[in-house]
Amino acid sequence: MRKLLLAAVVCACVLGAGAAWAAYPEQPITLICPWQAGGGTDAVARIVATLMQKELGVPVNVVNRTGGNGVIGHQAIISAKPDGYTIGIGSAELAMLHWMGLTDFTAKDFNPVAGVNLDLAAITVRTDGPWADYKALEAAIKANPGKLTASGTAAGGCWHLALAMWLTAAGFKADDVRWIPSEGAAPAQQELMSGGIDMVTVSVPEVAALVDAGKTKILAYMSEVRSTKYPEVPTLKELGIPVSTGTWRGIFAPMGVPGDIMKLLEATVSKVVKEKDFIDFMNSRGLGINYLPSKEFGALVVKSDEEFGVAMKAAGLTK
């Protein structure tokens, strides 16, 4: 009798543990976005969260944790309780911040779930500005080194690095256009429209709304090929400047999240990127779909960390 009772208790414990796992997720999930609402990272975060919610059956709430040049939000992702209920969307900046001496964490401190997006940089100005094309802008920079200004993200962020890479490839100094830090593409474009800065070097999707409204125009892409959304705009490579750069975005979790939960999250994101709603949303905004499973995405993040370090040292952006 005693043995039967012990067996029953053990069985109940095993079943209970299985039931506890089977219940995940049983409460809302928070998805942290390190950048302000209205930018490209926020847009990707919200469509992913909406479709994850549909797949998982619980609310997935986007929380914008901005500030500190992206440090606050990215730190919040890796510092969260590793129970699967707080995850986040990381952008390429997470592989740059430590090179600037802003953080102790590196790309290796993030737990990659899956990559979802890749976008290349573009040089965008106001339509009513003085530059009809890229060559006119280049001439203005040459005639007025250090006078023109640009923005799009934090100091040392991906779009700042894009500016530096473009300028050095074009034969200028990295600071021949002064960088004005911002908390993302949306506030930077507000500053552009108000006349506070001369250009932004963010991605095509982030400027599409104002371009479509006729308020801004793209002078050139920092890519190997032209954008299908605005095919009339040339690439820097076509203009004799060999540079191609941009940003990636993906879902991360804190270190220590149980393997089964990580696999479920990865499988969920894998389903999300195949859904028509996701594809239509990304295509309508010119956002590049680039799904990478956990292992491959992690390798991209670490590789980016190494490559950004080399480029940032060359541009004098490291500390």
Distance in angstroms between the alpha carbons of the first and the last residue of the chain: 71
Would the pLDDT of 14 be above 70? no
Mean pLDDT of 34-62: 95
* b/e 155-172 (16+ beta carbons within 10 angstroms → b): ebbbbbbbbbbbbbbbeb
Supply the pLDDT for residue 22. Answer: 55
Confidence category of residue 21, pLDDT binned at 50, 70, 90: very low
Q: Please give the mean pLDDT across all residues of the chain.
A: 90
Cα–Cα distances (Å) from 251 to 47, 52, 111, 201, 220, in that order, read: 12, 11, 9, 24, 29
Q: Are 177 and 199 in contact (CB under 8 A)?
A: yes
How far apart, in whole angstroms, are the C-alpha atoms of residue 310 and residue 29? 37
Supply the pLDDT for residue 13. Answer: 44
What angle separates helix 204-212 from helix 185-194, to the nearest 10 degrees? 40
For 183-226, write each residue's pLDDT tens digit.
Answer: 888 899 999 999 999 999 999 888 989 999 999 999 999 987 88
Would the pLDDT of 17 be above 80? no
CA 110 from centroid of its chain's CA atoms? 14
DSSP, collapsed to helix, strand or coil, labels residue 29 as strand
Angle 83-87-91 from CA coordinates, rounded to 5°: 150
Cα–Cα distances (Å) from 75 to 79, 228, 233, 283, in that order, read: 6, 35, 37, 30
Mean pLDDT of 139-155: 95
Angle 54-58-59 from CA coordinates, rounded to 5°: 85
Q: Are 202 and 163 in contact (CB under 8 A)?
A: no
The string of DSSP codes covering 106-139 is: -GGGSEEEEEEEEEEBEEEEETTSS-SSHHHHHH
Which carries the bigger pLDDT value, residue 252 or residue 6?
252
Name the β-bridge partners of 235.
221
In terms of pTM, does the model score above 0.85? no
227 Cβ contact partners less than 8 Å away, ≥ 6 residues apart? 122, 204, 221, 233, 286
Would the pLDDT of 7 be above 80? no
Indicate the range of 79-93, 113-127, 152-166 predicted with least confidence.
Answer: 152-166
Cα–Cα distances (Å) from 21 to 17, 113, 251, 260, in that order, read: 6, 19, 21, 9
Supply the pLDDT for residue 308. Answer: 85
Supply the pLDDT for residue 49. Answer: 98
Which carries the bigger pLDDT value, residue 158 or residue 1?
158
Please list the alpha-helical segments (H only) found in the chain: 2-22, 40-56, 71-79, 134-143, 158-169, 185-194, 204-212, 259-272, 276-284, 294-314
